[in-house]
């Protein structure tokens, strides 16, 4: 949300380039929300007055088994239906953070895709084939090589990456500072 706002505020200078970053690689059953997750959601939701309302699930609520399926689905949409990527990306964000849906589940991803006018059969097929997994893993490796260790990450020329839930005012100032020195 904040990054899209930056792109809208600086339309000729800021261009978002979405890349994958695997937070939970291997499928793990029995994952649940912990105090750690709740604290991060609470902090992120309090960053800005216009921040989205984050669902704060109870401790023990099921947590996605892996971030790979959602990232693979997003990479597939980005590659095959780029005009729908922003809509799908926002729908994934809302599904996980505002409704606490399991975005590691292919059926959930298919439903989210359908709500965005995306071919859910094609998406499920791409997930089953693993065709976009190498892309997702390579983008994650590229991020690590660039010093990125979390999400979201903002990379500005000549500056270290800005990682995590950062107040909009701080992101905006970083962009303004970068533009002034360019």
d(CA 139, CA 151): 13
Query: Looking at the DSSP assignment, which residues form a beta bridge with residue 162?
Result: 154
Alpha carbon separation from 161 to 16, 170, 174 (Å, rounded): 14, 13, 11
**Residues 96, 103: contact at Cβ < 8 Å?**
yes
Ordered by where they begin, the domains of the chain are 2-181 (3.40.30.10)
Is the C-alpha dihedral spanning 17, 18, 19, 22 positive or negative?
A: positive
Distance CA 39, CA 55 (A): 12
Query: How far is Cα 91 from Cα 79, in angstroms, rounded to an integer?
Result: 17
Residue 3's pLDDT is 87
Per-10-residue mean pLDDT of the chain, 182 residues long, equals 88 90 77 79 70 76 84 97 95 88 93 95 95 96 92 90 88 94 82
The whole-number pLDDT of residue 136 equals: 96
User: What is the model's pLDDT at position 98?
Assistant: 84
What's residue 10's pLDDT?
93
Contact 154, 174 (CB under 8 A): yes
3-state helix, strand, coil in the chain (%, to 5): 55, 5, 45
What pLDDT score was predicted for residue 162? 92
**How long, in residues, is the chain?**
182
What are the tokens at 86? 């922003």
Q: Which pLDDT value is given to residue 63?
A: 77
What local confidence, expressed as pLDDT, does residue 128 receive? 95
């Amino acid at each position: 949300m904040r990054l899209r706002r930056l792109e809208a505020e600086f339309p000729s200078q800021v261009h978002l380039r979405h890349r994958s970053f695997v937070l939970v690689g291997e499928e793990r059953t029995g994952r649940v929300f912990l105090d750690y997750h709740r604290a991060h959601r609470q902090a992120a939701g309090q960053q800005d007055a216009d921040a989205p309302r984050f669902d704060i699930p109870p401790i023990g609520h099921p947590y996605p088994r892996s971030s790979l399926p959602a990232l693979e689905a997003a990479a597939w949409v980005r590659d095959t239906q780029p005009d729908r990527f922003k809509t799908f990306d926002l729908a994934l964000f809302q599904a996980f953070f505002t409704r606490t849906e399991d975005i590691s589940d292919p059926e959930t991803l298919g439903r989210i895709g359908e709500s965005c006018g995306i071919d859910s059969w094609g998406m499920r097929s791409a997930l089953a084939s693993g065709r976009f997994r190498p892309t997702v893993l390579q983008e994650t490796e590229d991020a690590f090589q660039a010093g990125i260790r979390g999400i979201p990450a903002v990379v500005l020329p000549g500056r270290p990456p800005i990682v995590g839930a950062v107040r909009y005012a701080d992101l905006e100032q970083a962009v303004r500072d970068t533009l002034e020195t360019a």
